[in-house]
Amino acid sequence: MAEQPRRRRSLLADLRPLRESPPFRRLLIGSTVSWLGSSMTSFALVLQTYELTRSSVAVGAIGLAQAIPALVVGLFGGSLADAVDRRRLVLATSCFLTVVSAVFAVQAFLNLRQLWLLYALAAVQAGVQSVDGPARRTFVPRLLPAERVTAGVALNQVSGYVTFLLGPALAGVITAVGGLRACYIIDAVSFSAALYSVARLPAMPPEGGLARPGLRAAAEGLRYVRSQPILTAAFLFDIDATLFGLPVALFPALNAERFGGSPQTLGLLSTALAAGGLLGSVLSGPAGRVPAKARAMLVTVVIWGAAITCFGFARVFWLALALLVLAGAADTTTVIFRGSIVQHITPDRLRGRITAVDYVVGAGIPRLGNFEAGAVAGVTSAGFSAVSGGVATVVGALLIRLAFPAVARYRSPVEPTLPPPTPDPPSAADLPAPAADAPAPAPAADTPGSADAEAPGEQEQATS
Q: Tens digits of per-residue pLDDT, 355-386?
A: 888 878 887 788 788 889 988 998 999 999 99
CA 198/CA 31 separation, integer angstroms: 9
Q: What is the DSSP string of 96-134?
A: HHHHHHHHHHHHHHTT---HHHHHHHHHHHHHHHHHHHH
CB 255 within 8 A of CB 379: no
Mean pLDDT of the chain: 80
CA 452/CA 324 separation, integer angstroms: 34
- Looking at per-residue confidence, does 447 or 124 come out higher? 124
CB 30 within 8 A of CB 197: yes
Residue 73 resides in a domain: yes
- Residue partners of 256: CB distance under 8 A and separation at least 6: none
Find how far residue 385's CA is from the centre of its chain: 23
Residue 4 resides in a domain: no
Residue 429 resides in a domain: no
- Looking at per-residue confidence, does 210 or 295 come out higher? 295
Q: Do you find a cis peptide bond into 416, omega within 30 degrees of 0?
A: no
445 pLDDT tier (thresholds 50, 70, 90): very low
Q: Is the pLDDT of residue 435 over 60?
A: no
- Residue partners of 233: CB distance under 8 A and separation at least 6: 294, 297, 400, 403, 404, 406, 407
Q: Angle 251-258/22-53 helices, nearest 10 degrees?
A: 60
- Give the residue among 154, 412, 162 at the shortest CA–CA distance from 283: 154
Q: Is the pLDDT of residue 457 over 70?
A: no
Residue 254 resides in a domain: yes
Q: Is the pLDDT of residue 350 over 90?
A: no
CATH number at residue 163: 1.20.1250.20
- Residue partners of 3: CB distance under 8 A and separation at least 6: 420, 421, 429
Residue 424 resides in a domain: no
CB 206 within 8 A of CB 83: yes
- Give the residue among 142, 144, 4, 129 at the shortest CA–CA distance from 65: 129
- Summarised one tens digit per residue, pLDDT across range 139-157 is 988 898 877 877 787 788 7
Residue 285 resides in a domain: yes
CA 272/CA 266 separation, integer angstroms: 10
* pLDDT of res. 352: 79
Enclosing domain of residue 348? 15-419+438-463
Q: Is the pLDDT of residue 425 over 70?
A: no
**Overall domain count for the chain:** 1
Residue 199 resides in a domain: yes
- Rounded alpha-carbon distances, angstroms, from residue 102 to 42, 70, 85, 190: 14, 21, 27, 11
CA 258/CA 262 separation, integer angstroms: 11
CB 35 within 8 A of CB 159: yes
Residue 116's CB is within 10 A of a number of other CB atoms, namely: 8
- Give the residue among 153, 294, 309 at the shortest CA–CA distance from 237: 294
* pLDDT of res. 430: 32
Residue 6 resides in a domain: no
| Torsion angle in degrees (nearest 10) through CA of 283, 285, 291, 296 | 10
- Summarised one tens digit per residue, pLDDT across range 322-339 is 999 999 999 988 888 887
pTM above 0.75, yes or no: no
